[in-house]
Amino acid sequence: MENSRSRPSPDPFDRVAAVVAAQVSAVLPDGAPLLLACSGGLDSTVLLHALAAAGRWRLSCAHVHHGLSPNAEVWAQHCAAQAASLGLPFALHRVEVALDSADGIECAAREARYRVLDAQALAQGAAALLTAHHADDQAETLLHNLVRGAGLMGLAGMPAWRPSAPGRPAQLRPMLALSRSVLEAAARARGLSWVEDESNADTRYARNYLRAEVMPVLSSRWPRTAETLAGAARRLAEAQGLLDGLADADASALAATTAWGQAWSIDGLRALEPARQRNLLRRLLRLQGARTAPTEAWLDEWRRQLLGWQPGAECPVSHAGVAGFCHRGLLWLMPDLPAPAALNWQGETDIAWAAGRLQLQPVQGRGLSQSALAQAAPVLRVRQPKDRVRRGPGRPRAGVKQIAQECGLPPWLRDRAPLFVVGREAVWMPGCEPAEPWAAGPGEPGWMPVWTPVVAQSTSG
C-alpha cells in the first residue's frame, strides 16, 4: 500500500481553481457569460487565471480606473495585458470619484466602481458579475461592522451569491472561503504577477487598519482567524436568511395589491411585535435596493412615524436610494428615482419610465388612435403646472391632482406619472380614458397605455 506521507502535496493553484470552479458551477451553468472585475491585485489575478484555467464559462474582464493614484494608469495597462495574454475581452472604465463625499472616499469609489461594472454586466447580458473578495476581506468586514454596532445583517458580511434585481446584475464571490495566504501561495506556484495598491498601507482607512494592525495580531495567536471569522459570517448569514423568511411571511400577510402595485397595511404593521416590525422594514428596504442598512436610531424613528400615522399624513422618507410614503392606510416603497425627462414618442411600445414601465398594448376600437398619434408626434412627460386632461369621452377636463385623487394614484407618484402631450394639450394620463379627437373609433386600431410603477419587489429574493 502506498504510504500517504509520500504523496505529493496538492498544487496550491489547483486547490484554488477547484474551489472557484465548484462555487461558480453551484449557481451558474457551463457556458454562462461572466464579467470579472479586475483590479490587478493578487486576488483578482488569481481569480482571473483560475476561471481561465477552468475554461467552462464565457469570461470577459473589466477594470475601473478611479484616477486616485499616480499608478492608476499602470494598473489599467497591467489588467489589459493579463486579459490579452489569456485571449479574453477587456473593457476599461474611467470614473470620477467625489472626493468630498459625506460617506468618505472609499465609499464614493466603491459606488462609482459598481455603477459602471453593473451597467456593463447588464448591457452585455452577463449571468453574473464576479469579484475576488476572500476570507480575509470577509473577516475584516465582520470586525468593522461589529465595532460600528451593526446588526445581524452587517455581521453576516458579504454574501457569496447575490441574485439579480431590477437594474442590478447577479454578483458572485467564489473565493470567500479562501484566505489571502492561500491565494498568494497559488499565485507564486504559477508565477503570476500582480500590482500592489499603495493606499492599502494607509491605516487612516478603517479596513487598512484592521488588515495591517488587528488581523496580524489575531492570526499570530489563532492562525486560522480569517477562515474562522469568515465561517462565523456564513453562519450569521444563515440566521439572517431565517429572519428574511419570517419577514417575507409577514410582508405577504400585510400585502395589499392596488391599481398601482403592491403596498403594505399600516394597521397590520402595528399588530406585529416591535422586533418583527423592525425585521420587516429592514427587509422591505433591502428588497427595494437600499444601498446600506439603516441605523437602529433611524429605523426606530421611521417606525415611530409609521405607527403614529393618521389619515392624510404621508410620512415621506428617503433612505439609501429608496423612497417611502403612506397613502390611504398603506405603506409604499419604491426606488427613489428622479422624475423622467421628456421623451419624443416615436412609436415605442415598451418604455422604461421612472421606476416602472409604460407599455402600449394594441387594441381595437379603444385607447389612443394609432393613426392620430402617428401624425401628431406627441411628447411623453411628467405633469406641469396648469396641465388639464380629459377624463374620458364626454367628460370635461380636470387637473392632474383631481384625476389622481379620483383613481387613487398616490401623491408621490403623481410627479412621475407619464402624460401624452400633443402641443400644449395633455391627451392622456393614468386613470383616464382617451377622448376625442384622440380616441380610437369603432374598429380602429388603438394603443391602450398601461403604466406599471415598480412600487414593490418580490419577497422571494
Which residues make up each annotated binding site?
39-44
Sign of the C-alpha dihedral computed for residues 403, 405, 408 and 412 taken in this order:
positive
Residue 263 CB coordination number (10 Å): 25
Which residues are CB-contacts of 36 (< 8 A; sequence separation ≥ 6)?
44, 47, 48, 51, 59, 60, 61, 62, 129, 130, 131, 132
**To the nearest 10°, the Cα dihedral for 162, 168, 173, 174?**
80
Place of cell 446584475: 169
CA 274 to chain centre: 27
In three-state secondary structure terms, 35 is: strand
Q: Which one-letter DSSP state was computed for residue 109?
A: H
Residue 238 burial class via C-beta count within 10 angstroms: exposed 0-12, middle 13-18, buried 19 and up: exposed
Residue 176, CA distances (Å) to 189, 229, 372, 398 in order: 20, 11, 59, 59
Distance in angstroms (rounded) separating the CA atoms of residues 255 and 14: 49
Q: What is the DSSP track for 298-347?
A: HHHHHHHHHHT--TT----EEETTEEEEEETTEEEEEE-PPPPPPEE-SS
The grid cell for 190 is: 504559477
Separation in Å, CA 36 to CA 4, 14, 92, 172, 364: 38, 20, 12, 10, 48
Strand partners, 361: 448
Nearest-angstrom CA–CA distance, 35 and 117: 8
* Residue list, annotated binding site for ATP: 39-44
The three cell numbers of residue 142 are: 465582520
DSSP letters spanning 393-410 = TT--EEEHHHHHHHHT--
Residue 23 CB: number of other CB atoms within 10 A?
20
CA distance 141 to 155: 8
Whether the CB-CB separation of 418 and 429 falls below 8 Å is answered with yes
